[in-house]
Amino acid sequence: MSLVRGAHQIGAGVNWIHGELNGVSRLNASGPFTFNGQVTGLGLADFMIGKPSAFTQSNEAVLYYRGNYFGLYLQDAWKATSRLTINGGLRWDPYFPPHTKTGTIAHFDPALFASGAKSTVYKNAPAGLIFPGDAAFPGKSAGNKDWMNLAPRIGLAWDATGNGQLSVRAAYGIFYDLQSLNYYIGFAQSSPFGSQVTLPFPPSFENPWTGYPGGNPFPVPVNSNVPFINNASYQTIPFDAKSTYAQQWNLSIQKQIGTDWLAQANYVGTGTVHVWTGNQVNPGIFLGLGACSINGQASNPCSTIGNVDRRRKLNLQDPVNGQYYGSISQLDDGGTASYHGLLLSLQRRTARGFTVSGNYTWSHCISDLANAELAVAGTNYLIPDNRRSSRGNCLTSDRRHNFNLSTVYQTPQFSGGAMRTLGSGWQFSSIVRLRGGEYLSVATGIDQALTGAAAQRPNQVLGSPYSDSKTVDHWLNPDAFLQPALGTYGNMGAYNVLGPGLIQIDMGVTRTFKVRETQSVQFRAEAFNVPNHMNPSNPVMALNNTVFGKIQAAADPRILQLALKYVF
């Protein structure tokens, strides 16, 4: 709804979105093995001798997730003077956590675990787990509502000279984010629904369930008396998780040069609060390399890659209930991120058949490790209870330098017979892209910390991680890294190794030939990567890989394309 009153244009609006995610999850129902080279140093060799580093299996699980979004806004565009316009507004974005039609949500509470409290919905559930229907659970929702998500914003536009050729704009606002329903599918993998289990270093490739209490537990029937299996994986979300929001601000100066050119300089900043990250709340505890007793069972050495589940935090705290818990990925809403960018652009509108548009961005993005899907596609931060252990340059999106230039030239309509036939109506276009590389993490490829954590990083022992030549065969210097000592994490930070950049030049030529009044033939010739420049992909980043530091792939070479189209 829009209302104009004098110098004010007042707007108000409301929107509501209902989302549904219905499906059957067969993730890991087939029982995949993992071979990561932990045994021999080479994944393929581990496979050939039948020594997997992990085996994972789960039930099929039915997904019926529902989500509602409601938003309300009020804004005013005020023409304060003939040269100054001020925009102000307020948006209300209350958070309604998703709910499930079938009750496929589990929640782990360490206080309930410590007190021995159990669910009344599933009688065999271990202490600490509750489900929809239990007294402490908020209905069938994944959490509690948050009604106080208020998002103000203000902006101004100023005609600095009064002739419309120099403008200054500035703005600030708060903007809330809403996770997709896909974020919550990890609940379907939790017991007793998916009952996903990961067995580190199963004793037998032929029968990975050898030695597992009761043997292969699958399929697991889901009812109130369902048995809960040992070492199951869980996703859990605090009931009062805060919504992610971003504070965004910008300053822009635009200047018209002559009659055809426009130059712009823009600064854009963003500070994101309550980034949803993931914490492993049931890690394996390193107990040393000597002989010891774990819950009454002798182990020599005490900590190995094969006894992570026996050394998990909850199993050491309470073996009776802790034996049922494997990995527990818990949402941590305390992450932050920041982005600062300078955008310069120059445009020439079409004049005498020639158009130019170019821009350059210099930016930097830093973030805690955002978790895409807690227990499925996501990754928890490296060191449990240490969010900063995985803070670094933004994954895939931190490109410090980005330059784009596009040009179009249209030949004029010549008056002479031959020139009009041969030279008129041709259009020549080009696009030039220069982009810096993305920042990558070096991985150990193996569990040197002996805690079950993924994506561990090595020690950097030389000042520079790169090879002197920095070629596709030697992008990184293997001598710059060492595997950490057993039971320790490496000293390398996250996402601090720069990958290759991109140089791309594309060109095209087109012309349309009139056949009749309503019929024409269009000819098009295009060349992608005109100089046939080799744009390498990222190098292999797993230190235990025999081709570590080498680049094994590249983007497309020069491609030529001709087309003829008849329009009628």
Length of the chain: 568
Query: Three-state SS string across 21-33, please?
Result: EEEEECCCCCCCE
- Predicted pLDDT of residue 158: 97
**Pairwise CA distance, residues 374 & 280, whole Å:** 10
Max alpha carbon distance in the chain (Å)? 100
Asked whether the predicted pLDDT for residue 377 surpasses 80, the reply is no
For the residues of 501-528, what is the DSSP string, one character each? -EEEEEEEEEEEEEEETTEEEEEEEEEE
Mean per-residue pLDDT, 131-159 = 94
Mean per-residue pLDDT, 321-329 = 94
Query: Do residues 135 and 266 both lie within one domain?
Result: yes
Query: Do residues 390 and 406 both lie within one domain?
Result: no
Mean per-residue pLDDT, 55-59 = 89
Asked whether the predicted pLDDT for residue 378 surpasses 90, the reply is no
Residue that is last in its domain, among 332, 365, 394: 394
- Predicted pLDDT of residue 388: 94
pLDDT tens column, 5-51: 999 999 999 999 999 999 888 888 889 999 988 788 788 898 999 98
Q: Tell me the two tokens of residue 247.
A: 């504070």
Q: Which residues pair with residue 55 across a beta bridge?
A: 33, 199
Is the pTM here over 0.85, yes or no? yes
With beta carbons less than 8 A apart as the criterion, state whether 28 and 189 touch.
yes
- Predicted pLDDT of residue 146: 94
Rounded percentage of the chain residues whose pLDDT exceeds 70: 100
Query: Do residues 510 and 471 both lie within one domain?
Result: yes
75 within domain boundaries = yes
Q: Over the range 156-189, which residues count as b (16 or more CB within 10 Å of their CB) and which as e? A: ebbbeeeeeeebebebebbebebbebebbbbbbb
Mean per-residue pLDDT, 392-411 = 93
- Predicted pLDDT of residue 39: 81
Asked whether the predicted pLDDT for residue 515 surpasses 80, the reply is yes
Higher per-residue pLDDT: 373 or 504: 504
Mean per-residue pLDDT, 489-493 = 95
Higher per-residue pLDDT: 420 or 63: 63
**Pairwise CA distance, residues 502 & 23, whole Å:** 39
537 within domain boundaries = yes
With beta carbons less than 8 A apart as the criterion, state whether 506 and 531 touch.
no
33 within domain boundaries = no
Mean per-residue pLDDT, 253-265 = 95
- Predicted pLDDT of residue 518: 87
pLDDT tens column, 88-100: 999 999 999 999 8
- Predicted pLDDT of residue 108: 96
Higher per-residue pLDDT: 320 or 396: 320
Query: Do residues 363 and 430 both lie within one domain?
Result: no
Model confidence band, residue 552 (pLDDT cutoffs 50, 70, 90): very high
Element (H, E) at 319: helix 319-322
With beta carbons less than 8 A apart as the criterion, state whether 127 and 116 touch.
yes
36 within domain boundaries = no
Q: What are phi and psi of 444, to 5 degrees?
A: -70, -30
Query: Do residues 230 and 335 both lie within one domain?
Result: yes
Q: Over the range 95-120, which residues count as b (16 or more CB within 10 Å of their CB) and which as e? A: bbbbbbeebbbbbbbbebbeeebbbe
Mean per-residue pLDDT, 134-153 = 94
Mean per-residue pLDDT, 145-169 = 95
Element (H, E) at 423: helix 417-423
**Pairwise CA distance, residues 186 & 328, whole Å:** 11
63 within domain boundaries = yes
Helix (H, G, I), strand (E, B) or coil at 208: coil
- Predicted pLDDT of residue 351: 83
Query: Do residues 244 and 373 both lie within one domain?
Result: yes
Q: State how far Cα 474 lies from the chain centre.
A: 28
Q: Which residues pair with residue 88 across a beta bridge?
A: 76, 154
For the residues of 463-487, what is the DSSP string, one character each? S--EEEEEETTEEE-GGGEEPPPTT
Asked whether the predicted pLDDT for residue 76 surpasses 80, the reply is yes
Query: Do residues 78 and 140 both lie within one domain?
Result: yes
- Domain extent for 237: 1-28+51-394
Query: Do residues 300 and 428 both lie within one domain?
Result: no
Asked whether the predicted pLDDT for residue 171 surpasses 90, the reply is yes
Place of tokens 């108000």: 12
- Predicted pLDDT of residue 425: 83
- Predicted pLDDT of residue 474: 92
For the residues of 135-187, what is the DSSP string, one character each? TTS-TTBSS--B---EEEEEEEEEESSSSSSEEEEEEEEEEE----GGGGGGG
Residue that is last in its domain, among 370, 394, 418: 394
Q: Give the mean pLDDT of the chain.
A: 92
Q: Tell me the two tokens of residue 483.
A: 């595997």
Asked whether the predicted pLDDT for residue 419 surpasses 80, the reply is no
Asked whether the predicted pLDDT for residue 359 surpasses 80, the reply is yes
- Predicted pLDDT of residue 69: 94
Query: Do residues 389 and 476 both lie within one domain?
Result: no
**Pairwise CA distance, residues 476 & 556, whole Å:** 23
Query: Do residues 346 and 471 both lie within one domain?
Result: no
Higher per-residue pLDDT: 418 or 52: 52
Q: Tell me how many domains the chain contains.
A: 2
**Pairwise CA distance, residues 168 & 264, whole Å:** 10
Mean per-residue pLDDT, 353-357 = 92
42 within domain boundaries = no
- Predicted pLDDT of residue 454: 85
Say if strands 107-108 and 129-130 run parallel, antiparallel, or are unpaired.
antiparallel
- Predicted pLDDT of residue 28: 85
Asked whether the predicted pLDDT for residue 375 surpasses 80, the reply is no
Query: Do residues 405 and 308 both lie within one domain?
Result: no
**Pairwise CA distance, residues 276 & 381, whole Å:** 11
Q: Tell me the two tokens of residue 451.
A: 């805690």
- Predicted pLDDT of residue 195: 87
With beta carbons less than 8 A apart as the criterion, state whether 391 and 369 touch.
yes
Residue that is last in its domain, among 368, 394, 420: 394
Query: Do residues 386 and 404 both lie within one domain?
Result: no
Q: How many Cα atoms occupy the beta-carbon half-sphere of 452 within 13 Å? A: 27
255 within domain boundaries = yes
**Pairwise CA distance, residues 551 & 553, whole Å:** 6
- Predicted pLDDT of residue 277: 94
Asked whether the predicted pLDDT for residue 422 surpasses 80, the reply is no
40 within domain boundaries = no
